[in-house]
A and B are shown apart, each in its own frame.
Chain A
């Protein structure tokens, strides 16, 4: 099987396992966890250890800003 997470077009998906980091993000945007964009647990780009309720940090390449950072909440 091909591991899509290694594909060059798939941006890096980083699991935020440190709760304080998540809190920091939520505080920065003044939102609840459920206000984050969602990502399905069975999404092949996710790291294997991601569980529903976890927050994923995605670092994408951007033409204008070099990298763009997006957070997503893992859902079932």
Chain B
């Protein structure tokens, strides 16, 4: 903030630079290809000339007198022995050559046409069209004229050989014209009717005198253009050949110099800023040493930057070019050298030109030259300017901690003592600040740096901390350690949606990992198989307030993607609540209190009854109901299939499972956020997670291979079902072979057979699944998980216990492999189920080698699909973000881009927040319900207006630490 610029940028214009300007701004001319002399000093007028800036500490810049760090460096220049083309402008050069006259340099189009294109350019600018399209059209127009309308000079076609060679192509009379004519006059030996052509005939036909024809045939007279045309016509041959005249950069420069200012304006070029001849380089700017710093290796040797290497090449060739020219070397050698110079200048600018071998380092690595520094993901724009590295951040492995609130994050003490938050010392917090300083940098709630009002930063050390603490006054800044309750930003890549970056409250803990409550795994898409996450400490009061209000985890419970909660119970939580509520088990007082020990409930309601021994018991549903708000009414269907009924905050009937409390649209969580508050929902989710963990630990929950086994009798039934299917398929194949199979509408007979076989096999697997399912008990842990929605599905169980089923590649039975068969184990044209990837065994029973192979084929397709999908969707996301990044919802409800153009007249066409409106089809917007609720709330306040006015809004977004100990007032939140 102390570096505020006194100027404001009004605009930026891009253009070419005049070679004279290069010379003017140059600090020195560079003529020596060497960098440092034997003593290690930079050579004068060499590439490391001290006038180009300094990189070694202690040296003084000979241009500005400053030292390394404050001197930004200064450009030098190389006088090129001959002009060369700038690769960045090859397309523009081609266009200009094609659009202008080779003689007078004017555009080869009429004044009216010029006027038209000038108008079109103005219009394109007005309606935001690409002026490049106009430019292209103008070039196309100009290229049409074969002669210059201004001077009458015939125009040649321009051929561009990439990257930097241009030719003028003209059709001229072939040198072998006489031979060509004579050959055409000979009779064709293969064609008896063709008797050839006598010179007299030719003369008549071509309207020439016989004598002239004979002269031409003797090669003594070169036919003129008109004569050539008539001869060609008479003989039906082509007498021309292409004459390629290479345009040297100097020729192009001379050509461009002739183009008048007003003519290039038609092509959209402002001659004030960019004269076309400046495209051809005569002077090469040498970037300051600060842009190409050399590094000193451990052995004291200097290693130069790639750009310096390239400049050395350029200077060497430039030198050789000049020497050879002065010595009067043959044209051929000069041209070779010129091309070499062109190559070096080209690769200096861009080393990834197609058709040109890239310049390489001694080690064989391609050099990273100017264009490569800017381009791409790691380039200057995406890598250094848009993407920045930040301070006050930490990264480590994550691990779960169910004792934390979902709003919290556990931070290792060693991170907390390293990462700091800046506090401004005032009269009110001076004691606190002094305490932090006196604790020093190693004792936990300490500090690492202090900043005096004069801007001087002092490091707090173990030695000076006591003394420094006494000096701290109001107006100082103290960088204190992170302490419990601080707000920090927590992030897991890939940051695909806004819930990938959320604000948490710090809890400092021992050990080395970040700890988080398992209910925040879905929004981050995190697991604990080695995932790492990033943490950022916020440095200003504004940032902390904003993060607390907008980004805290509890504010992100609802996902804008589908408008329902994305935070809720997962996996074992769901199994836990299922076990607790499905069969409504009974618990003794001790058991009930143990289940609720991590919640705010510490008193049980009246018992639900007494058991045989006369001891009171509480049911699972009663215990669950203690976590619900007292006025909650809900009715919905659970994942397990029964109807869940909640009345007055009491779970009357039904199973609490994924549909009730799960992440991704658990009804109770969703209703709590929408109808109560984020705070109430957070408390509920925290408590449900701890209750569920207690419940699942109470019952005990484990799974093993035997849980997927079925009795031998059932196995036999499965085998029978599959055998039945095989029989039916054999029947189908038989009918098909006999040609009796009726095709389905729109299908061929083969397709019909395939479909029918697939159908039969699908049914076989389903019936195998049903048989298996019948033999599973209700308390089977795998069934509990599948029914409750905690993990896995009944299909997974079917595959483990019954039959894996048909393997598919590209949605069809497996058909690839050898000719007419999938594997060498089968007969050709075997259409049976097992020959095309039907796995009749179960995972538990084990696959045969052939089945295993087919299974691997199907599995591989899945892997490839995921890999392709992630890369495709990543790029799509990047493009979407770039396209939409500047759109903003305005205060008037419209969505506009930065230039003020309206994109939507009402945000989302309805002005509703996607967070609050569920997008799933079975969630109709309950307009009446909402209206009723609001009207009811209104009436309430009218009846007790006094009370309403006197009522205090509950404080929002306080740290959990700042909240009153009891949660009792939470119930009256809404």
Contacts and interface: CB of A to CB of B under 8 A. Distances in A.
Interface residues of B, number: 18
A64 interface: yes
A39 B855 CA distance: 53
B274 interface: no
Contacts of B904: 70
B901 A29 contact: no
A16 interface: no
B905 A35 contact: no
Contacts of B903: 37
Nearest to A76: B127
Q: What 10 A-B pairs come out closest when comparing CB atoms? A: A64-B910, A68-B909, A65-B910, A35-B901, A35-B900, A62-B909, A62-B910, A70-B905, A64-B912, A35-B902
Nearest to B900: A35
Contacts of B899: 35
Contacts of A68: 905-906, 909-910
Contacts of A75: 127
A35 B905 CA distance: 11
Interface in B857-900: 892, 894, 896, 899-900
Given A64-B917, A65-B909, A65-B910, 10 more contacts: A29-B905, A31-B902, A34-B901, A35-B896, A37-B903, A62-B909, A64-B910, A64-B925, A65-B906, A65-B911
Nearest to B925: A64
Contacts of B900: 31, 35
A60 interface: yes
Interface in B898-946: 899-906, 909-912, 917, 925
Contacts of B906: 65, 68
Contacts of A63: 910
Interface in B337-351: none
Contacts of A76: 127
A7 to B, nearest CB: 20
A interface majority secondary structure: mixed
A2 interface: no
Interface of A: 29-31, 34-37, 60, 62-65, 68-71, 75-76
29 contacts: A29-B892, A29-B894, A29-B902, A29-B905, A30-B892, A31-B900, A31-B902, A34-B127, A35-B896, A35-B899, A35-B901, A35-B902, A36-B902, A37-B901, A37-B903, A62-B909, A62-B910, A64-B909, A64-B910, A64-B912, A64-B917, A64-B925, A65-B909, A69-B905, A70-B904, A70-B905, A70-B909, A71-B905, A76-B127
Contacts of B925: 64
Contacts of A30: 892
Contact of A60 (B894, B909, B911): B909
Contacts of A31: 900, 902
Contacts of A70: 904-905, 909
A65 B905 CA distance: 13
Nearest to A28: B892
Best-surrounded residue of B901, B909, B917 (most CB of chain A within 10 A) = B909
A3 B681 CA distance: 53
Nearest to A31: B902
Nearest to B927: A64
B583 to A, nearest CB: 41
A44 B548 CA distance: 50
Contacts of A65: 906, 909-912
Best-surrounded residue of B892, B900, B905 (most CB of chain A within 10 A) = B905
Nearest to A70: B905
Contacts of A36: 901-902
Interface string B371-391: 000000000000000000000
Nearest to A37: B902
A75 B896 CA distance: 19
B832 to A, nearest CB: 48
Nearest to A65: B910
A12 B929 CA distance: 32
Contacts of A60: 909
A73 to B, nearest CB: 10
B248 to A, nearest CB: 44
Interface in B29-69: none
A69 B911 CA distance: 12
A76 B123 CA distance: 12
Interface in B815-842: none
B563 to A, nearest CB: 11
A74 B13 CA distance: 31
Nearest to A30: B892
Contacts of B905: 29, 68-71
A35 to B, nearest CB: 5
A70 B905 CA distance: 6
A73 B894 CA distance: 17
B419 to A, nearest CB: 44
Nearest to B896: A35
A30 B891 CA distance: 12
A76 B910 CA distance: 30
A60 B900 CA distance: 23
A68 B896 CA distance: 17
A57 to B, nearest CB: 10
A32 to B, nearest CB: 8
Nearest to B901: A35
A29 B104 CA distance: 54
Interface string B161-196: 000000000000000000000000000000000000
Contacts of B896: 35
Contacts of B901: 34-37
A61 to B, nearest CB: 10
A71 B909 CA distance: 12
B221 to A, nearest CB: 58
Nearest to A66: B910
A35 B903 CA distance: 9
A63 B918 CA distance: 12
Best-surrounded residue of A29, A31, A70, A71 (most CB of chain B within 10 A) = A29
B277 to A, nearest CB: 37
A65 B902 CA distance: 20
Contacts of A69: 905
Interface string B713-733: 000000000000000000000
Contacts of A34: 127, 901
B196 to A, nearest CB: 60
A30 B899 CA distance: 13
A63 to B, nearest CB: 8
Interface string B384-413: 000000000000000000000000000000
A69 to B, nearest CB: 7
A37 B906 CA distance: 13
Nearest to B893: A29
A56 to B, nearest CB: 13
A13 B900 CA distance: 24
A64 B907 CA distance: 12
A30 B893 CA distance: 13
A29 to B, nearest CB: 6
Contacts of B912: 64-65
Nearest to A64: B910
A66 to B, nearest CB: 9
A23 to B, nearest CB: 16
A36 B910 CA distance: 18
B234 to A, nearest CB: 51
A31 B901 CA distance: 8
Contacts of A35: 896, 899-902
A70 B902 CA distance: 10
Contacts of B894: 29
Contacts of B911: 65
A37 B899 CA distance: 12
A57 B917 CA distance: 27
Nearest to A36: B902
A36 B127 CA distance: 12
Nearest to B899: A35
A66 B273 CA distance: 55
A58 to B, nearest CB: 10
Contacts of B892: 29-30
